[in-house]
Amino acid sequence: MGNTQSPEENDYVIRVIDSPLWVDATQWDTLLGAQTNATPFMQHAYLAALHTSGCATPDTGWSPHFVLLEQQGQLAGACALYLKTHSRGEYVFDQGWARAYAQHGLAYYPKAVVAVPFTPVPGARLLARTAHERALLAQAVVRWCESVGLSGVHCLFANDDDLLACDQAGMMQRHTVQFHWQNSVPGYADFDDFLASLAQDKRKKIRQERRKVHEAGVRFRHAQGRDIGSADWDFFYQCYERTYLEHGNAPYLNRAFFADMAAHMPDAWLLFTAERNGQPIATSLIAVNTSAIRARGLKHHETFERVAYGRYWGALERVDCLHFEACYYQPLAWCMANGYSRFEGGAQGEHKLARALLPVQTTSAHWLAHRGFAGAVQDFLNAEGQDVAQYVTELQHHSPFKSG
């Protein structure tokens, strides 16, 4: 089951367990609903599917050790912690740190990450009822990692509440950049209304790209939730798998994982399918936060924000600009039509800026047991943080929107 220890306050108990299936799903999701920036990727069903499908298990280098903070048998705090034997599937790149450890005869792996495997989406990582309990949870995570002799722990793509708790636990912060689209207030009426807000050259470029796809005879349909049929999921996976294989890698997620999503979290998914001559040729899978999170919220549900997340795409045929249409323009049009306030396009790719996805700083927190390396890494992070801030400022000077 895992080990048990008591934090400083005697009425709390910390348990570390090696399977998400041993966590009470209702208590976990209720706790998630109370967080700021709760995402569907932290729902119990999502984490359980990663485990039962074999995607995030010891065999793939992701050994679950979920940390639970309990009070009188009730979940007061929790986080998804994994022991890692590599750094793949994290999207916060620390391979240079691992090489530096190896050059000095030190072991960087195994390490711990508090993260959603294969999912670089910012959001709540340290689930807790109160800020005080979140701080206790963060401190317990660091103490546990130290007690079992790990090189460190890394809390990836955390929200502001998490970062405050991590800071109190003595963790260092690292900044990266993603690109997100923000709807206007009260919201764009339609795609043409959105285009009207852009500078003339950006507006012209987007129209040209969309016209190329249309003139190539490509049309789109979309389906959400249980309207995504088994054949749709099969075709999506064929495209998704091909994208990875074309880059010489096996996909992180298998077909069994998406079968679990269809069975247990159908409302969290939106699928766009591109067709030509009546035959599907490409797909784009988008995740959306749903009322399942909002309904469990304890205090944040009144300000529930509808957010869509660009996740996976693939194509069996090459069509000029098809990627932009499937991954950006179709989802953005859907967001406008359905009252979604934000579309998170994910990491990397300055090409997103010209398509009105603006730079957003994301942050992770890191603790290293070796004091000498921790000091060196802190110096590195200070310099890197200045570079990231300057990079964001430079990107903001190239905003695609009309000036003034």
Enumerate domains of the chain plus CATH numbers.
Answer: 4-177+361-396 (3.40.630.30), 180-358 (3.40.630.30)
What's the pLDDT band for 4 if we cut at 50, 70, 90?
A: low
Is pLDDT above 90 for 298?
A: no
pLDDT value at residue 277: 96
* Element holding 273 (H helix, E strand): strand 269-276
pLDDT value at residue 303: 57
Tokens of 102: 């190896």
**What pLDDT digit, counting tens, does each position of 206-251 carry?**
999 999 999 999 999 999 999 999 999 999 999 999 999 999 999 9
How many Å is the maximal CA-CA distance in the chain? 68
Is pLDDT above 90 for 167?
A: yes
pLDDT value at residue 348: 72
pLDDT value at residue 295: 44
Q: Find how far residue 2's CA is from the centre of its chain.
A: 27
Is pLDDT above 70 for 93?
A: yes
Q: Does residue 139 contact residue 7 with C-beta atoms inside 8 Å? A: yes
**What pLDDT digit, counting tens, does each position of 41-64 carry?**
999 999 999 999 999 999 999 999
What's the pLDDT band for 328 if we cut at 50, 70, 90?
A: very high
pLDDT value at residue 154: 98
What's the pLDDT band for 404 if we cut at 50, 70, 90?
A: low
Is pLDDT above 90 for 294?
A: no
Is pLDDT above 50 for 299?
A: no
What's the pLDDT band for 291 if we cut at 50, 70, 90?
A: low
pLDDT value at residue 314: 97
Report the mean per-residue pLDDT for the chain: 94
Q: Does residue 17 contact residue 265 with C-beta atoms inside 8 Å? A: no
- Non-local (6+) Cβ contacts of 86 within 8 A are 61, 109
- How many residues are recorded in the chain? 404
pLDDT value at residue 346: 75
Q: Does residue 64 contact residue 82 with C-beta atoms inside 8 Å? A: yes
CA distance linking residue 382 with residue 172, whole number of Å: 10
Is pLDDT above 70 for 286?
A: yes
CA distance linking residue 53 with residue 311, whole number of Å: 19
In degrees and rounded to multiples of 5, residue 330 shows phi and psi of -65, -50
Mean pLDDT for 155-179 is 98
* Lowest mean pLDDT across 63-72, 96-105, 189-198, 350-359: 350-359
DSSP 8-state assignment for residue 325: I
Percent residues over pLDDT 90 in the chain: 91
CA distance linking residue 127 with residue 21, whole number of Å: 17
| pTM for this prediction | 0.94
Is pLDDT above 80 for 76?
A: yes
**What pLDDT digit, counting tens, does each position of 110-119 carry?**
999 999 999 9
